A and B are shown apart, each in its own frame.
Chain A
């Protein structure tokens, strides 16, 4: 009888354990998902002009203004965007597919960049519906080595803001968005604020760079695992 009880208790505990670990998004650590960032240790990142997969033509130039400072605050040397875009324009590769066919080594040769950052604007729009309208900003980001051309880090940040009922959006992101979006009714189209929140989500998953006090100390920092999504691509 006692044995049965023990068995029941044991299986109950196991169930609780499974239940707990199964809850919420699955977590991983920075070093588990992005080990090459810690072995290659890129110090400088050249931010390339974003690829715009949306119909919002202005998104490309607006988004570029939101991405420099968060990466610098994360500890990386970031090449000045205005200046590098100008040079890429002079080379005739700013607005074309050529940019993505350029061997990454060239970015090391001219700029001395250890890595490049590719960003893709997946969504940058408001969808109007009968019951609820929502604003979505979705960004894919990827750091590639200029030495090996390998992907060192990759993450997505998506913000969906319900425009019909601002109070109903849940979670930390909801709070963040509603705090910064007090002027939402008058400035519906100010996507850059949402891009900043999406960026914050993306960048928190990146290892700290050489100028950050926690450089090479954050290997075991927990982040939300996005690798299954990556494998699907």
Chain B
């Protein structure tokens, strides 16, 4: 009797382990918020306003991620860096590019290329 009981217990434990891991965290921990919608609006009607909205959607994604302890999704820091670069805020751009590669090592090579570009642009501005 004891042995049978043990067998059942083991089976139950095994099954619940399978079951629990099976329905654990299956969703990815990102939240792009209004990123795609505002990006689409920007492409549809490029202009100062749509660009502003796209940018604020991205800064919102970052603050939301920090609040909820989520990973900032791929490309957000890089895009913010790119917008900073376009506004000649080279130091800010470099900060963002570094954040992107810290969050995603897959971005390292690309970000290093962009950082180099921004550093050059900054040097040009200073001289």
Q: Is A78 an interface residue (CB 8 A)?
A: yes
CA distance A64 to B104 in the complex (A): 22
The one of B25, B40, B113 in contact with A65, judged by C-beta atoms closer than 8 angstroms, is B40
Contacts of A72 in B (CB 8 A): 30, 32, 73-75
Q: In the complex, which range does the number of interface residues on chain B fall in? A: 20 to 34
A111–B109 touching, CB < 8 Å: yes
Measured in the bound complex, the distance between the Cα atoms of B114 and A74 in whole Å is 26
Contact of B36 among A65, A74, A214 (CB under 8 A): A65
B-chain residues with CB within 8 Å of residue A44 when the two chains form the complex: 104, 106-107
Q: Could you tell me which residues of chain B, from 18 to 73, have a CB within 8 Å of some CB in chain A?
A: 24-28, 30, 32, 35-36, 39-40, 43-44, 71, 73
The CA of A48 and the CA of B108, in the complex, are separated in Å by 19
* A212 and B39 form a contact (CB under 8 A): no
Select from chain B the residue with minimum beta-carbon distance to A212. B28
Cα A81 to Cα B36 with chains together (Å): 11
Q: A interface, how many residues as a size bin?
A: 20 to 34
In the assembled complex, A83 has its CB within 8 A of some CB on chain B: yes
A214 touches B74 (CB 8 A): no
Cα of A112 to Cα of B78 in the assembled complex, Å: 15
Contact check, A79 vs B110: say whether CB atoms are below 8 A apart.
yes
Closest chain B residue to A75, Cβ basis: B28
Inter-chain contacts of B122 with A (CB < 8 A) = none
B79 within 8 A of A: yes
Chain B CB within 8 A of A17 CB: no
B74 touches A213 (CB 8 A): no
Interface residue A192 (Cβ < 8 Å from any Cβ of B): yes
Interface residues of A in 174-233 (CB under 8 A from B): 192, 211-214
Chain B residues with Cβ below 8 Å from A77 are 74, 104, 106-107
Task: Report yes or no: A112 in contact with B108, Cβ–Cβ below 8 A.
Answer: yes
In the complex the two chains form, is A213's CB within 8 Å of B28's CB?
Answer: yes
In the complex, the chain A residue whose C-beta lies closest to that of B36 is A69
Cβ-closest chain A residue relative to B97: A83
The answer to whether B40 touches A192, judged by C-beta atoms less than 8 angstroms apart, is yes
Among B30, B40, B71, B79, which residue has its beta carbon within 8 angstroms of that of A80? B79
Using a CB-CB cutoff of 8 Å, which residues 6-64 of chain A contact chain B? 43-44, 61-62, 64
Given the contacts A69-B32, A79-B110, A114-B106, A62 and B75 also touching, CB distance less than 8 Å: no
Q: Mark contacts of B100-127 with chain A using CB atoms, 8 A cut-off: 1 yes-contact digit, 0 otherwise.
A: 0000101111100110000000000000
Neighbour of A69 across the interface among B35, B71, B107, CB < 8 A = B35
Q: Contacts of A64 on B, CB cut-off 8 Å?
A: 43
A82 touches B110 (CB 8 A): no
- Distance (whole angstroms) from the CB of A45 to the closest CB of chain B: 9
Report B's interface with A, CB cutoff 8 A: 24-28, 30, 32, 35-36, 39-40, 43-44, 71, 73-76, 78-79, 82, 104, 106-110, 113-114
In the complex, besides A65-B40, A66-B40, A76-B74, 6 extra interface pairs with C-beta distance below 8 angstroms are: A68-B75, A69-B73, A77-B106, A78-B75, A82-B79, A214-B26
Q: List 12 A-B contacts (CB under 8 A).
A: A44-B106, A61-B43, A68-B36, A73-B32, A78-B74, A79-B78, A79-B110, A80-B78, A81-B75, A83-B75, A110-B113, A211-B71
Chain A residues proximal to chain B, CB less than 8 Å: 43-44, 61-62, 64-66, 68-69, 72-83, 86, 110-112, 114, 192, 211-214
